[in-house]
Amino acid sequence: MSAATHTGKRWIQHWDPEDTEFWENGGRKVANRNLWFSIFAEHIGFSIWTLWSVLVLFMGPEYGLSPADKFLLVSTPSLVGGLLRIPYTLAVAKFGGRNWTIISAGMLLLPTVLAAIAMEPGTPLWVFMVIAAIGGVGGGNFASSMTNINSFFPERLKGTALGLNAGGGNLGVAAIQVVGLIVISTAGASAPQIIFYIYLPLIVVAMTCAALFMDNIADVKKEGNAMREVLKDKHSYVMSFLYIGTFGSFIGYSFAFGLVLQNQFDRSPLQAAQVTFIGALLGSVIRPVGGWLADKLGGAKVTLWTFLGMAVGTVLCIVASNGDSLALFMTGFIGLFVFSGIGNGSTYKMIPALFRTKALAAVAEGEAREAAMPRARRLSGALIGIAGAVGALGGLFINLAFRSAFTSTGSGVPAFVAFLVFYGLCFLTTWAVYLRGPIVRTTEERKAALAGAGI
């Protein structure tokens, strides 16, 4: 396309998706191409990140691990994946989105090969935990992918584009759980190595596709201290808190669902595997819908109602656990996946809207658009990384809460009560910061609130 020139290393020197002519004369095609191959690489990353949510279903009594050990094991990649999201976000600016996608996909080979070697009865718990920690690199892929794709799309399409990118990546959770189900139901619980034979070639394919079909944006590489600058904005902390409630819930429940079913309702590994993937599948598929609704109705409004829906789902899980009703429990738990998926899309829509509103205000006050809009993209990309990192830690908290609840009471009810309180706090925070209207006091706060509401 005429407006963008590439060097031999696939660097796009000029990128302005807000320019309608630029977008229609080739920009859309380039952005969509990068989006689909980013989704594929991120999808594989999510599968490897949540690999241990499947492998624990293969760990029978011969492995010598207690339920508490297994909850601790699945918590480990969640923690590491969350912590890695900050450096992965910065890596896009340092190396370029395409280049880092190749590198980060290649890093998935190490935990997969190590797990294939160690997955045998008699392996000590600490060895499993070390390998699971290395598998946390798959969680970092999400932050770099979202930061990269955020730079490719105009504001009016970010909600849908980020929703597709994240939703396609999240599907990696359901995909590997389906693979685990197929392996358990056909080859039995003693053949987890088949999973590795499937995913090792897919990792290589993801690397190859990124190398052949993706691009780097030079403006992103020129990012200065966006991460440091965005931390000065109080809305960075608000959005990170809200993302704990949405994405943290999704990934935490994805890791824990099978173990909770086994311990709360005494399900066998096969019985748990038969339904574990449903929640992650629905939560992933509906995430783009959350982005689309946010584009149409406003991010804060959609986010507010998703927290209410998650609270209702949590109440159903509490009632079902106390009444030993598997059907009601499944309804409530799957509801948690669905509403967290919608909330994932809507909260990420709010982030670029915040900074675009501030950039437009700066342009109205005399700042050059050529400086204001790229800065907004860099800052929103930085916050996407920060919020993604903090939000992913919610997965750790959920699994530790379940571990504590089952160890102390033999039931998940205390954990669900804690989650209910937290969703109430998220609901109130969303309303108070972004939807109170006249109560918001300063001019800057009003601009940020309107942006968060998608107005």
- Residue 116 CB coordination number (10 Å): 16
The rounded distance, in Å, linking the Cα atoms of 163 and 302 is 14
Whether 23 contacts 46, CB under 8 Å: no
**Residues linked to residue 12 through DSSP beta bridges, in sequence order:** 6, 217
How high is the pLDDT of residue 447? Answer: 52
The rounded distance, in Å, linking the Cα atoms of 172 and 327 is 26
Contacts of 403 (CB under 8 A, 6+ apart): 67, 68, 71, 72, 75
Does the pLDDT value for residue 304 go beyond 50? yes
How high is the pLDDT of residue 357? Answer: 81
Does the pLDDT value for residue 1 go beyond 70? no
List pLDDT tens digits, range 255-287. 999 999 989 998 888 888 888 899 989 988 888
How high is the pLDDT of residue 274? Answer: 87
Q: What values do phi and psi take at 79, rounded to 5?
A: -65, -50
The dihedral over CA atoms of 18, 23, 28, 29, expressed in degrees to the nearest 10, equals -150
Q: Which structure tokens are listed for 346?
A: 């809507």
How high is the pLDDT of residue 372? Answer: 80
Q: How many helices (H) and strands (E) does the chain have?
A: 21, 2
The rounded distance, in Å, linking the Cα atoms of 160 and 110 is 33
Whether 251 contacts 394, CB under 8 Å: yes
The rounded distance, in Å, linking the Cα atoms of 189 and 187 is 7
Percent with pLDDT over 90 in the chain: 55
Model confidence band, residue 336 (pLDDT cutoffs 50, 70, 90): very high
Average pLDDT over residues 414-433: 95
Does the pLDDT value for residue 446 go beyond 80? no
Model confidence band, residue 37 (pLDDT cutoffs 50, 70, 90): very high
- Read off the amino acid at residue 443: T
DSSP codes joined into one string, 215-232: -EEHHHHT--SHHHHHTT
Model confidence band, residue 3 (pLDDT cutoffs 50, 70, 90): very low
List pLDDT tens digits, range 369-394. 777 877 787 788 778 778 888 888 88
Q: Euclidean distance between the first and final Cα of the chain, in Å?
A: 33
Model confidence band, residue 365 (pLDDT cutoffs 50, 70, 90): confident
Does the pLDDT value for residue 2 go beyond 50? no
Tokens 């509403």, located at residue: 339
Whether 447 contacts 348, CB under 8 Å: no
304 Cα distance to chain centroid: 19
Could you say which DSSP state residue 325 is in?
-
The rounded distance, in Å, linking the Cα atoms of 335 and 317 is 10
List pLDDT tens digits, range 73-125. 999 998 999 899 889 988 888 899 999 999 999 999 999 999 999 999 999 99
R_g (Cα) of the chain, nearest Å: 21
How high is the pLDDT of residue 5? Answer: 43
Query: Nearest CA to 216 among 29, 377, 44, 15?
Result: 15
The dihedral over CA atoms of 54, 200, 114, 196, expressed in degrees to the nearest 10, equals 40
Instruction: Write the burial class of residue 255 (CB in 10 Å: 0-12 exposed, 13-18 middle, 19+ buried).
Output: buried
